[in-house]
Amino acid sequence: MIPSLGPLYDRATPISYALLRIAFGLTILTHGIPKILNRPHGSMADPMAGTTHLIETALHLPFAPQLAFFVALLETFGAAAVALGAATRLLAPMLAVQMAFICVAIGPTYPWIDRGIEYPVILGFIALLISFQGGGRWSVDSWIGKAL
């Protein structure tokens, strides 16, 4: 740290954390909305079916359609809440766990280079940071006075 920039760091830290939290939430939200609205997303014609298939075949979990629906809700409403800084300590750990499951599910077939496994890895660590930091100064949690 450059000592003369200490006051700048002190002022910028809460704002930069809020921007990171917002960017994270909006990034996840872009994956939830197509599932909820049954719209194509990138190369996926049916992202909800793709999520269900991944849960069934890669993770071998029961109740894949119900879990996929939960994922869609988490990625849509949970991500929007995290972006706003609402219930961050409740929702961010769920998103961190989801990112861990995504890494397990697609890790063997999505190498570090060329296929994008680094995205759920970094998003998982951001979710973990938000889990421990909470909403921060610029959040709904802070405004209502409760760290949910």
Contact 61, 102 (CB under 8 A): no
- Total domains, the chain: 1
- Kindly report, residue by residue over 53-94, the tens digit of the pLDDT: 999 999 999 999 999 999 999 999 999 999 999 999 999 999
pLDDT for the residue numbered 127: 99
The reply to whether 5 falls in a domain is no
- Whether the per-residue pLDDT at 111 is higher than 90: the answer is no
2 or 32, which is more confident = 32
pLDDT band at 6 (very low <50, low <70, confident <90, very high): confident
Q: Is residue 8 part of a domain?
A: no
Beta bridge partners of 41: 44
Q: Is residue 7 part of a domain?
A: no
Distance from C-alpha of 95 to C-alpha of 101, rounded to nearest angstrom: 10
Domain that holds residue 39: 17-144
Q: Is residue 4 part of a domain?
A: no
55, 63, 64 from 60: Cα distances, Å: 6, 10, 8
The residue ranges of DSSP E strands in the chain, in sequence order, are none
Distance CA 32, CA 5 (A): 39
Residue 94 C-alpha from the chain's centroid:
8
